């Protein structure tokens, strides 16, 4: 590079050494091998590894979990129609911090209005769900149901999210604010859970009709449970 005589002269005129843009040659480190042909392992490496001492947060390990297998997903419920029937009875959980925010609010509502039957459905294993709920202070009056096969999720129209749904910049900003404003930071996520599952929240009346709710529009969507109570006649 820059080996031509005219180039070297031009660089010298402006005060730049002719080898300023040359790539350093570290071949001498390997050429000085022992007579038996082995490399010199004591030779200094040209660059130090800047990440050797970096500790990866435990909550980021869940990103290694592959996207869950697809299941047959029904249309999301329409307000005023009968709620989907399931042998089980959703915990919005594309991001663990959003799930925590939603669960804490659901727990508060259940404690304030004992006549409202509050149910959270987890697609993680029972052991992982129990550990997570214990870490945030218990379920209190909220009934927690395990749905590892995602039958309930599919019945309510909740499948696998898109990349934009989960990773758009506005969602990342909102999730960051949960830490700075509400002190809700990332927790370790069990491999049985999955960030790519869409969450949702609905409210039904005594007759089993859907009165309020929808699937999460983006992963940072926090449902207004106070509004849900108002629709059901609770203030």
88-133 pLDDT tens trace: 554 444 456 788 999 999 999 999 999 999 999 999 999 999 999 9
In a domain, 67, yes or no: no
Is the domain of 82 the same as that of 198? yes
Look at the chain and report how many structural domains it folds into.
2
Is the domain of 91 the same as that of 120? yes
Give the pLDDT band (50/70/90) at residue 21. low
What pLDDT shows up at residue 34? 47
Per-residue CA distances from 118 to 44, 122, 140, 227, 229 (Å)? 63, 13, 10, 15, 11
Among residues of the chain, what percentage have pLDDT more than 90? 52
Residue with the bigger pLDDT between 192 and 226: it is 226
Give the pLDDT band (50/70/90) at residue 136. very high
In a domain, 14, yes or no: yes
Give the pLDDT band (50/70/90) at residue 147. very high
In a domain, 61, yes or no: no
- For 139, the domain range is 73-231
CA atoms of 145 and 158, how far apart (whole Å): 16
What distance, in Å, lies between the first and last C-alpha atoms of the chain? 76
In a domain, 20, yes or no: yes
Is the domain of 46 the same as that of 89? no
0.75 exceeded by pTM:
no
Those residues with Cβ within 8 angstroms of residue 234's Cβ, 6 or more apart along the chain or in another chain: 113, 115, 116
Is the domain of 44 the same as that of 149? no
CA atoms of 96 and 219, how far apart (whole Å): 10
State the pairing for strand pair 119-122/143-146.
Answer: parallel
Helices (H) and strands (E) in the chain, counts: 8, 4
In a domain, 68, yes or no: no
Q: What CATH number does residue 143 fall under?
A: 3.40.30.10
Cβ atoms 86, 158 nearer than 8 A: no
What pLDDT shows up at residue 41? 47
pLDDT at 210 over 90: yes
Phi and psi, residue 119, nearest 5°: -125, 135
Is the domain of 134 the same as that of 184? yes
Those residues with Cβ within 8 angstroms of residue 208's Cβ, 6 or more apart along the chain or in another chain: 82, 83
Is the domain of 154 the same as that of 41? no
* Axis-axis angle for helices 96-112, 169-182 (nearest 10): 50
Q: Show the beta-strand stretches assigned E in 147-234.
A: 200-204, 210-215
Is the domain of 50 the same as that of 91? no
In a domain, 195, yes or no: yes
Q: pLDDT digits over 73-82, tens only?
A: 999 999 999 9
Those residues with Cβ within 8 angstroms of residue 152's Cβ, 6 or more apart along the chain or in another chain: 86, 88, 89, 90, 121, 145
Average of per-residue pLDDT values in the chain: 79
Q: pLDDT digits over 167-194, tens only?
A: 999 999 998 999 899 998 878 778 888 8
In a domain, 66, yes or no: no
Is the domain of 126 the same as that of 178? yes
CA atoms of 68 and 46, how far apart (whole Å): 42
Q: pLDDT digits over 2-17, tens only?
A: 456 655 665 565 555 5
Question: 């696998």: which residue's tokens?
Answer: 160
């Amino acid at each position: 590079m820059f080996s031509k005589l005219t180039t070297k002269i031009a660089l010298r005129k402006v005060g730049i050494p002719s080898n300023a843009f040359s790539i350093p040659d570290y071949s001498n480190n390997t050429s000085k091998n022992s007579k038996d042909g082995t490399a010199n392992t004591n030779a200094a490496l040209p660059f130090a590894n800047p990440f050797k001492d970096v500790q990866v947060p435990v909550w980021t390990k869940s990103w290694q979990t592959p996207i869950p297998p697809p299941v047959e997903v029904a249309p999301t419920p329409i307000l005023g129609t009968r709620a989907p029937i399931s042998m089980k009875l959703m915990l919005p959980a594309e991001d663990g911090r959003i799930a925590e925010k939603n669960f804490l609010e659901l727990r508060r509502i259940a404690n304030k209005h004992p006549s409202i039957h509050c149910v959270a459905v987890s697609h993680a294993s029972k052991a992982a769900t129990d550990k997570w709920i214990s870490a945030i202070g218990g379920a209190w009056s909220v009934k927690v149901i395990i749905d590892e096969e995602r039958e309930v999720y599919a019945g309510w129209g909740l499948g696998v999210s898109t990349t934009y749904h989960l990773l758009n910049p506005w969602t990342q900003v909102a999730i960051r604010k949960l830490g700075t404003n509400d002190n809700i930071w990332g927790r370790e996520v069990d491999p049985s859970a999955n960030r790519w599952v869409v969450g949702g929240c609905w409210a039904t009346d005594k007759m089993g009709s859907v009165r309020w709710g929808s699937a999460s529009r983006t992963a940072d969507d926090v449902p207004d449970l106070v509004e849900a109570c108002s629709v059901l006649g609770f203030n």
